[in-house]
Amino acid sequence: MVNAWELDHVGAADELRKYYSVKIIGPHKDEQFWFENLPMQAQMFGFAPISAFYPDIWLNHDDVVSVGNLSFSVKHCPGHTPGHIVFYQPDNKSVIVGDVIFKGSVGRTDFPKGNSQQLIESIKSQVLTLDDDTQILAGHGPDTSVGFEKRTNPFVSGQFG
């Protein structure tokens, strides 16, 4: 049985891989240091011990990942973390962004190797260049759209500095 806890977004991934005999695909190789430090992170946050593990396949910018009948274009969006990626699904006009951008906000950059300038550049070049009606599906909080964030997000709209 898979543990109920999750160390942010990946804590139970290795157990799921073993339980369901599936591969872990992604993220970008620049995230390797996070995987190496999983045991320390679990201990710091009081979780049960966890061993370091790694994806079976690292993803790169412009890779395509297929899930069922859907194909997702991978976009490397460093800044929140150095190897952060987002998944763009053009047929449904949606982008799964994790913690890159939120409705009215952007991801935090105080993690090791985080970079606020790089995050804003990634958002502007990889997310806000999509059609305005593209839905942004964030890792936390309500969904939004590219057009709404271009017009109103104080971190990327340009209207507050």
Query: Is 1 among the domain residues?
Result: no
71 and 24 co-located in one domain: no
Task: Round to whole Å and give the CA distance between 106 and 67.
Answer: 27
Report how far residue 1's alpha carbon sits from residue 3's, in angstroms, rounded to the nearest whole number: 6
- Residue 2 inside a domain? The answer is no
Q: Is residue 79 part of a domain?
A: yes
Q: Are residues 36 and 102 in the same domain?
A: no
Average pLDDT along the chain, 161 residues, taken 10 residues at a time: 45 87 93 87 79 92 96 97 96 96 95 93 98 96 97 86 53
**42 and 101 housed in the same domain:** no
- H helical segments located in the chain: 13-20, 32-36, 38-44, 116-122, 146-152
pLDDT of residue 5: 36
Question: What is the predicted pLDDT for the residue at 160?
Answer: 62
Number of structural domains the chain divides into: 2
**CA dihedral of 108, 71, 142, 144, whole degrees rounded to 10:** 90
Question: What is the largest distance, in Å, between two alpha-carbon atoms of the chain?
Answer: 50
What's residue 3's pLDDT? Answer: 34
85 lies in some domain:
yes
What is the per-residue pLDDT for 8? Answer: 58
12 in a structural domain: yes
Residues 91 and 149 in one domain: yes
Q: Quote the CA–CA distance of 76 and 139 in Å, as a whole number.
A: 16
Bridge partner residues of 138 (DSSP):
98
DSSP state of 123: I
One domain, residues 76 and 39: no
pLDDT at 97: 97
Pair 156, 122 in one domain: yes
Domain assignment of residue 82, given as a range: 60-161
